[in-house]
């Protein structure tokens, strides 16, 4: 009987240990599930932040591309403006030269108007004197 009692006692001890182990396992599983829930909550928050960050990065890249395009457009417009300004100054200089030539021509015309009688009078006198001459008639001998 002692063996039976000892076996029964061993069985009860093993059953008690099993129940303790089962309770401990249940507590560990409960702690694991609690920690997993906390981890899942943190991961969900992280994923939301990461999604927001990714969306912000896409927007940032689009804004950066737009900014770079705007800078290129600004630089091109500035270059066009500088070229047009250079062309304008060249046109102003050309106009000044044209104006000088036009003034010179105008002065020459005015000088010719004033000097025409002085220049042409001797020529007119010569023409008039020639017109007064009578041609000499030469007889051909033959």
pLDDT at position 71 is 97
Q: What's residue 39's pLDDT? A: 96
What CA–CA distance (Å, rounded) separates 88 from 95? 10
Residue 53, pLDDT score: 97
Query: Phi and psi (nearest 5°) for 138?
Result: -105, 130
d(CA 137, CA 112): 40
Q: Which residues of the chain have pLDDT under 70?
A: 1, 110-124, 126-142
Phi (first) and psi of residue 86, to 5 degrees? -60, -45
The C-alpha atoms of residue 3 and residue 20 are separated, in whole angstroms, by: 25
Look at residue 41 in the predicted model and tell me its pLDDT.
Answer: 96
Model pLDDT, residue 113? 60
- pTM confidence score: 0.46
Rounded to 5°, the CA angle 108-109-113 comes to 115
Structure tokens at 70: 């705007």
- Residue 86 burial by CB count (10 A; 0-12/13-18/19+): exposed, middle or buried? exposed
């Amino acid at each position: 009987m002692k063996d039976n009692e000892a076996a029964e006692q061993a069985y009860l001890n093993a059953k008690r240990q099993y129940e303790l182990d089962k309770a401990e396992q249940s507590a560990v599983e409960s702690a694991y599930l609690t920690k997993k829930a906390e981890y899942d909550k943190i991961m969900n928050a992280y994923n939301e932040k990461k999604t927001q960050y990714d969306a912000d990065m896409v927007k940032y890249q689009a804004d950066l591309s737009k900014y770079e395009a705007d800078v290129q457009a600004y630089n091109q417009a500035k270059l066009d403006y500088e070229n047009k300004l250079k062309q304008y100054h060249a046109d102003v200089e050309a106009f000044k030269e044209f104006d000088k030539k036009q003034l010179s021509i105008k002065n020459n015309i005015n000088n010719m108007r004033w000097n025409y009688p002085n220049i042409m009078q001797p020529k007119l006198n010569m023409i008039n004197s020639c017109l007064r001459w009578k041609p000499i008639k030469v007889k051909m001998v033959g």
